[in-house]
Structure 1
Amino acid sequence: MRRIIFWLASTATVLVLLFSYHTSLGLSTATATAAAYSGSVAGSTTTPPGTPSGSSSAGTSGSGSGSAKGTTTTGNVVYTRYGPVQVQVVTSSGSITSVRVLQYPSSDPRSQQINAEALPVLVQETLDAQSASIDMVSGATYTSDGYLRSIQSALDKAGA
């Protein structure tokens, strides 16, 4: 009799915990998180800003402008399973001063949630390491791989 009561109480507790667990942040929270990252994560676009309309951005890069702030270089578009990833990097005197994600997978709420958490980590790791030799973000393997390949192509083009 005691075992049955204990089993029923345990089962009820597990069910209450299971149904009260929230599995996603929701679309608005993920989007707000991405937007709050000081503009480093731009929206997913088909072509990067400054690309003439009608031209393809796949595999292209502009050396960008060489201003007092540094040289802006755009990496190749890397097509992942969930969408394209493209990164733009600003270098000055051989060091990375800023990183901007021009394209990233955002076709569904889950991708938006994952990337809202992963992209700020990847950008910060790049700025800290001053190279593309950074760890991937767990749970964002495809985005991390695309990010690393795009940032490496941008750094190769910049000569950094």
Structure 2
Amino acid sequence: MAVRRAALLTTSTVAGLVLLLSLKPHHTTLPVLASSGGTTAVSSPTPDSTSGQPSQSSSSGSKSASTGGGATGTYTGAVEQTPYGPVQVAVTLSHGKLTNVKAVQTPSDASRSQAIADYAVPTLTREALGAQSAHIQAVSGASYTSEGYMQSLQSALDKAGA
């Protein structure tokens, strides 16, 4: 009887572990910055994205002129309100390439919110520069700050026409 119970326990544990490992994590999909030739486009990797069809724009308006194509300049994203405070970023682009992301505002009302932002923002910045888009992974433990950061980042890229 004890051997049968042990075998059943082992089998159910292995089955549970296999099911747990087969689950795929949920990822938030945001529009991706893609550069092609003389223009920069915002493309949506999924059909249910809010931006619809990709749009294209070349450098114009307050953007500085460039011969390499793509937007050049610094663009400030919208202020995104989170439960712990506002998040806002500014991006710098050179010929359509994301070269810098600076956090203009981060949650700082409470010391815990400020500590979370101080940890999360450098990680989010590295992710954005590596991905060249707002399609980045959220930082564990900083979900609201991450979401606000990604939304403000996308807003800045939209302003750039990137």
TM range (shorter): 0.5 to 0.7
Greater share of strand: 2
**Residue 118 (structure 2) aligns with:** 116
Deviation string 1:14-33 (CA, Å, 9 cap, x unpaired) is: xxxxxxxxxxxxxxxxxxxx
**Residue 134 (structure 1) aligns with:** 136
**Residue 10 (structure 1) aligns with:** none
CA distance in 2: counterparts of 1:64 and 1:101, whole angstroms: 22
Distance 1:115 1:100, change over 3 A: same
Aligned Cα root-mean-square deviation (Å): 1.7
Matching of residues 46-125 of structure 1 within 5 Å: 66=64, 70-125=72-127
Normalized against structure 2, the TM-score is what? 0.57
Give the residue type in structure 2 aligned to 1:141: S
Normalized against structure 1, the TM-score is what? 0.57
Q: Is the 8 A contact 1:77 1:86 kept in 2?
A: yes
User: What 5-or-longer segments of structure 1 have no aligned partner?
Assistant: 1-62
**Residue 47 (structure 1) aligns with:** none
Q: Is the 8 A contact 1:66 1:72 kept in 2?
A: no
**Residue 145 (structure 1) aligns with:** 147
Deviation string 1:62-99 (CA, Å, 9 cap, x unpaired) is: x866388x410000000110111000000111110100
Greater share of helix: 1
Distance 1:122 1:75, change over 3 A: same
Give the residue type in structure 2 aligned to 1:98: N
